[in-house]
Structure 1
Amino acid sequence: MSLTHTFGLLAHPDQEWEAIRNESESVTKLYAGHILLLALIPAVAGFIGTTQVGWQIGDGQITKLSVTSALQLSLLFYGAMLAGIFVLGKFIDFFAATYDASERTPRGVTLAAYTATPIFLIGVIAAYPNIWVNMLAGLVAVAYAVYLLYEGLPILMKIPAEKGFMFASSVLTVGLVMFVALLAISVVIWSMGIGPVYVS
């Protein structure tokens, strides 16, 4: 079961990547048993945090989003996470031949999904939308996700550690480009009138 790997990746990532490699899991099963559930954590937490708790800058008043606005943004965010995992996974599969990966079964989506696990889990902190707390927690999650990427890619793709390092660096670069593209798309969506609606 996909969710059993979640805690293993946090406790003993090397062994867990080996276990993941030895499984034959379809993309559909991976989404149903792992991605769809974990991606809900930051989306739901963000909805609760922005509508029920709110945030404030300095000594200013507490700001919240309207329920409708927060719901729209949470759904868009959820969809973006699901699509992002799939697209990044396909990029990984595309790059696999370049780095002579001996694993012929497409495992890109698997790698992308499990690498993103700490980011999904730390998303619960969005229920308390304090910019500094969220930023520090996010940095820790991203750092561990990068560690999982560099640690897991050579194991999952069955390539030497040296090539794995270069491969993982390429994947990380693509991930950063996708993040910037997502920010640009967000600006376009906001300009279409689906931006946040604030309430006091």
Structure 2
Amino acid sequence: MAPHFLTLFTRPDAAWHEIRQEEERNSVHYLSHLLLLALIPAVSLFIGTTEVGWSLAENERVTLDTRSALLLSITIYLTTLLGTLIMGGFIRWMSRTFEARPTLNQCIGFAAYTATPLFIAGLASLYPSRWLAVAVLGLGCAYSTFLLFVGLPTFMRLRQNQGLVYAGSVWGVAVLVLVTLLVSAILHWNMYLQPNYERTPATDQAYPTQDERPQ
């Protein structure tokens, strides 16, 4: 996993060639990458909401109890895996329009590697702040978009013009899937899992300030 993880950020075009070659040798080589990196936002969110907290009012700190934070983290982890599987299915379905004939497994692997910057962006959850989350998630989305447009023609072995149209279609569906799944996961956690918020007086330590619950 480590070589691909590094080259996706340093030499993305070469990384996609290597990933495709490895896929031909081992069709599920992406699995450890997906299962491990999807833990980053889930674990970071657990630590951030239980140990750091956020502030809704002056001199008050809000955290989640262990049960609520654990359920939130599990929900986010499962949603991340589900989103990757769904995007793999959409990528394969849309390939019928082009000359590519990838397998479902290849498409899931491509989605997993493309989402790597979004997984890394989950580290922002260690410090629950709305503006920090927006900034880091925006950067993660931007680099994932770059990986998508650079990598899809290479991975699917398409001509550049076909690859760009294909990537644009995938990007549009990805935005819809990301928003739908995240909103659904948070609403489900908030409405049905009954989270417990703990409010304590803030100390001299600076805590992030927000006027709404962490998302």
Matched with 1:114 is 113
Q: Distance in 2 between matches of 1:119 and 1:144?
A: 8
Tell whether the 8 Å contact from 2:50 to 2:64 is kept in structure 1 after alignment.
yes
Is 1:163 aligned to 2:162, yes or no?
yes
Q: Distance in 2 between matches of 1:15 and 1:69?
A: 42
Give the AA of the match of 2:190: W
C-alpha change, 1:54 and 1:95, in structure 2 (3 Å) is same
Matched with 2:180 is 181
1:197 shift after superposition:
2.0
Is 1:99 aligned to 2:98, yes or no?
yes
Equivalent pairs counted in the alignment come to 195
Tell whether the 8 Å contact from 2:53 to 2:61 is kept in structure 1 after alignment.
yes
1:105 shift after superposition:
4.3
- Give the alignment's TM-score, normalised by structure 1: 0.90
C-alpha change, 1:116 and 1:60, in structure 2 (3 Å) is farther
Structure of larger gyration radius: 2
Tell whether the 8 Å contact from 2:189 to 2:195 is kept in structure 1 after alignment.
no
| Structure 2 residues without counterparts, runs of 5 or longer | 200-215
- Give the alignment's TM-score, normalised by structure 2: 0.84
C-alpha change, 1:92 and 1:37, in structure 2 (3 Å) is same
Matched with 2:190 is 190
Matched with 2:66 is 67
Q: Which runs of 4+ in 1 moved over 6 A?
A: none
Matched with 2:12 is 13
1:95 shift after superposition:
1.2
1:187 shift after superposition:
2.2
Give the AA of the match of 1:115: T
C-alpha change, 1:35 and 1:180, in structure 2 (3 Å) is same
Matched with 1:30 is 30
1:128-143 map, 5 Å: 128-143=127-142
Larger mean CA deviation between 131-140 and 37-46 belongs to 131-140
